Amino acid sequence: MNHDNSAHSQAQLLGVGRPRDWNDNFVQPSLVPIAPVQLKVSTVNRPKPDDYFKDWKEREALAEAMIPMIGRLNREKNIGIYMYGRSLVNRSVIDIMKSHRFVRQVESNELSEFESFPILEAVCAMNLGPAHIDLGKITVAYMKEGGPMEQGVSAADFVAQELSGLVGSNEKPLPESQDVVLYGFGRIGRLVARLLVEKAGSGDVMRLRAIVVRKGKSPNDLVKRASLLRRDSVHGSFKGTIRVDEENESLVLNGNEVKVIYANSPSEVDYTEYGINNAIIVDNTGVWRDEDGLGQHIACNGASKVILTAPGKGNIKNIVYGINNGDIKPEDKILSAASCTTNAIVPVLKSMMDGFGVKHGHVETVHAYTNDQNLIDNYHKGDRRGRSAALNMVITETGAAKAVAKALPELAGKLTGNAIRVPTPNVSMAILNLQLEKETTAEEVNAHMREAALHSRLQQQIDYTNSPEVVSTDFVGSRHASVFDSEATIVDGKSAVLYCWYDNEFGYSCQVLRCLEDMAGVNYNMYPKA
């Protein structure tokens, strides 16, 4: 939010930069009481600050002070702090400030650190159990026109009321920590590893315990595996430290010891030998996609369930998180997280079905090349895939259109699909050409998708952009299944053409992790309550 001069003193009143105890009370000197910032949300335009630079520096100091507070909540209490669905855990000062700026898209007005900081302080001062807390939504609820702040309710009292169900709670997301093993350590395996380490928190929910790979020909195989995890040409460097423990054949990732198990097949592995029990195996190889093949994992000592990071065959449930994860049952031993493209298009199709109805359609994916293709022309069993991936657009097939029916049975037989592989290493696009049940306009479609992206239960799956300048690299690292490009929408009566970007590596890995948590039975209390 923009602020008048009275708001500029808030950083000094908050005592940014001074030592803090666990409850985030300032040690020296004592905390100065903070008067509520008298601003309304969503219905008024803020006055511009007299000095943009001073305003920025004060907000920057507040964001900097938030980092250890958010970190301790996550590390010691298993509390995740979010800003309208965007995690603030392990984020930089600039990331936190950009997350505040993002609220402008959601609430048609801005939210600044001046408003959210006192709310976060109140959260830190409470004895709370594990939960996911949306700092942005609670702050906006407190500040809304005619709301608690204008009624004279203090930030601390409002937060205490909002989080009353969490006070003194000992309810854990899981009764005991869930062991996870990555079988295969390629593009998806390494990204899922990054996510598991990032979300380790206090370590009593999910722990990455091992990776299983074939022994490489290099004598320093372990070092090479670590190097591939440490540096990534697309996704940048690993956020943290990696120690190679060759004596124990382990990688230590931000303090998490991960055994590297060498095996040519699941039958060679006994996980109990490594102290691993009841593990969920994440198969990233795609070598086995049916129940018989994936069942080899469950037959191993110490393994209990398996999730496949590719479309499953036969009767295996193909789960698109956010759509049909309700189909996951405690007794399920084998699941598939479907494909990156299926995850990208199903949430958008579901939203369009709910808003406008879908008679039939065609899905064309413009997909980044993958390791399955040849770098230069060479023999390949698939049509056209033998031609150089770095030099050609390659027409190929996609099973995503047919796979949609496994998550959305209502669309069975209504979609066709094809794919074009293009010379980019990551980020793809799905073009949905749909015939709708009722006439509409591009403005109505965009408004509907914006609502779905910002306020619906598909908030984690669908993101939204209205920028006319975005290109594929802008979406590297997106944690959503897809990003709806509103500027490209074409609608003519009942005909609609929609463009959806998706990080086919990282965005998909986030969906895999969500499925993994669901399969493990992870259940966090969510605040504010819907």
Q: Return d(Cα 112, Cα 103) in angstroms, integer.
A: 9
**What letter represents residue 282's amino acid?**
V
Q: Estimate to the nearest angstrom the gap between the alpha carbon of 153 and the chain centroid.
A: 34
Run of H or E including 439: strand 428-440
Q: Between helices 93-107 and 113-124, what is the axis angle to 10°?
A: 110
Judge whether 340 counts as a catalytic residue. yes
Q: Return d(Cα 284, Cα 181) in angstroms, integer.
A: 10
63 close to 115: Cβ distance less than 8 angstroms: no
Q: For residue 158, which of 145, 140, 174 has the smallest C-alpha distance?
A: 140
Tokens 């259109």 — which residue?
A: 401
Q: Between helices 187-198 and 506-520, what is the axis angle to 10°?
A: 60
**Phi, psi (deg, nearest 5) at residue 287:** -65, -40
Q: For residue 314, which of 342, 344, 294 has the smallest C-alpha distance?
A: 294
Q: Three-state SS for 113?
A: helix
Cis, bond preceding 130 (omega within 30 deg of 0):
no
**DSSP class of 26:** B
Q: Return d(Cα 19, Cα 174) in angstroms, integer.
A: 34
343 close to 320: Cβ distance less than 8 angstroms: yes
Name the token pair of 420. Answer: 């074009």
Q: For residue 401, which of 411, 387, 386 has the smallest C-alpha distance?
A: 411
Name the token pair of 434. Answer: 């749909």
Q: Return d(Cα 460, Cα 286) in angstroms, integer.
A: 25
- CA torsion sign for 455, 437, 409, 429 is negative
Q: Return d(Cα 348, Cα 509) in angstroms, integer.
A: 18
Q: Return d(Cα 278, Cα 284) in angstroms, integer.
A: 19
Name the token pair of 471. Answer: 């290109």
Q: Residue 403: beta bridge partners?
A: none
**What letter represents residue 251's amino acid?**
L
Q: Which of 300, 340, 500, 510 is catalytic?
A: 340
55 close to 181: Cβ distance less than 8 angstroms: no
- CA torsion sign for 333, 334, 337, 338 is negative
User: DSSP states of 177-196 as a string?
Assistant: PEEEEEE--SHHHHHHHHHH
**DSSP class of 387:** S
> Catalytic amino acids?
340
